Amino acid sequence: MIEGAAIDIRRPHVRLTRLALRDFRNYATLQLRLDGRHVCLFGANGSGKTNLMEAVSMLSPGRGLRGAEFTDLIRRDAEGRLARSWALSADVRDGDLDRKLALSLERDDQGRSKRTARLDGVNTSQNDLGELMRIIWLTPSMDRVFAGPAGDRRRFLDRQVLAHFPSHASAGAAYEKAMRQRNALLERGRADPVWLDALELGMASAGAAMALHRIDAVKVMQEAILARPEGAFPKALIDLDGAFENRAADGAPLTDIEQEIAAQLRENRARDQAAGRTTEGVHRTDLRVIHAPKGLPADQCSTGEQKALLIGLILANAQALFERDFAPSPLLLLDEAAAHLDSDRRAALYDELAALGGQAWLTGTDRSLFDAFGDRAQRFEVSDGVVRED
């Protein structure tokens, strides 16, 4: 059963009302007071705008929008010396409730690190924070995701899926870990078949959950795309190129998909041993995107069209999340998303964000990029680790 499918309680909007940092990236200390509106950060390149977005992204499962190791987030002083720790905390308005989130990393004298997450003063896991914080982001590195390798599209897809199903992160981690262990066993030759069976059953369990999560998220995203009015961001047709996702789309139950994945892995042992890798599975799935008005594959569209398609997908996923009864409203992190849009598309983007009703964070080098937001957003100037409300 897909996580949350039986729950029928509409969640209220979730907004950050405070963000505090200590020794995080280029911020020695920071206290950012927010009033619940959208947040626009402007300033020169390298001033720390994306670092703030990254801090917010750490409140969801995973390693944030840069995929950095936790130790890489520790601030260095002017002489290059590392601080002992970093910490971030946030106040979150969850409908009528005020929630407190905290995440930190402490290093000891031997260089060992300990990560801590807290929700309302109680120790929890970063993955559990994802039940409250559904975060979607768009960064400049994603601009060519349609023209790049399948792995880039798969990571983009899984980030969208993760906002719907926080357990998708742990399923993906379990699958990857078991796959690495299986590959290592096959590489040795004469692997213990009982051990291989156990690893493949683990991969099958996690992989089946991933396939169902993916197909469910793509289905509701496509519905949200088709429901959007024609406008500045063209509609897309999306589907998945993956055998087990196709089985899920056809209505195959979870147990059947698990058995089929395990059977495929068992049959492919000799082939995978020769290849030095696992040749088939949910780790090979690709996301296919078509520019609907033109009927053209996304990778054949112009750079501007690909950017518009990408923004349209992010907006559609946010709308799909708003319409899910069991999910809290998402936070959108749009890093430099407005910089390469013309004024009409910028205004259209801000209007769509305002209509969604949640909270979005945007960055840009120039304050004027956000003029069309009017009073619907708070603006902050960022300069070398100092943030001032404009």
* CB burial string 254-287: b at 16+ within 10 A, e below: eeebbebbbebbeebbeebbeeeebebbbbebbb
The architecture in CATH of the region 146-323 reads Up-down Bundle (1.20)
**CATH fold of 1-134+328-390, please?**
Rossmann fold (3.40.50)
pLDDT digits (tens, 9 = 90+) for 22-51: 999 999 999 999 999 999 999 999 999 999
pLDDT for the residue 360: 97
CA distance linking residue 160 with residue 169, whole number of Å: 11
200: amino acid identity, one letter = E
Q: How far apart are CA 107 and CA 123, in angstroms?
A: 18
End-to-end CA distance of the chain: 48
Return the pLDDT at 5.
39
Number of neighbours of residue 186 by Cβ within 10 angstroms: 23
Q: Give the model's pLDDT for residue 4.
A: 39
- pLDDT for position 339: 86
Alpha-carbon distances, residue 148 vs 81, 141, 312, 337 (angstroms) = 37, 11, 19, 19
- The per-residue pLDDT for 3 is 42
What are the residue ranges spanned by the domains of the chain? 1-134+328-390, 146-323
* pLDDT (tens place) for every residue of the chain, 390 residues total: 344 333 334 456 889 999 999 999 999 999 999 999 999 999 999 999 999 999 999 999 989 999 999 999 999 988 888 899 999 999 999 888 999 999 999 988 887 899 999 999 999 988 888 888 999 999 999 999 999 999 999 999 999 999 999 999 999 999 999 999 999 999 988 778 999 999 999 999 999 999 999 999 999 999 999 998 888 999 999 999 999 999 999 999 999 999 999 999 999 999 999 999 999 999 999 999 999 999 999 999 999 999 999 999 999 999 999 888 666 788 999 999 988 899 999 999 999 999 988 899 999 999 999 999 999 999 999 998 899 998
Residue 333's nearest CA partner among 312, 315, 360, 367 is 360
**Residues 175, 210 contacting (CB under 8 angstroms):** yes
Q: What per-residue confidence (pLDDT) applies to 386?
A: 94
Query: What pLDDT is attached to residue 326?
Result: 65
- Note if the pTM is more than 0.75: yes
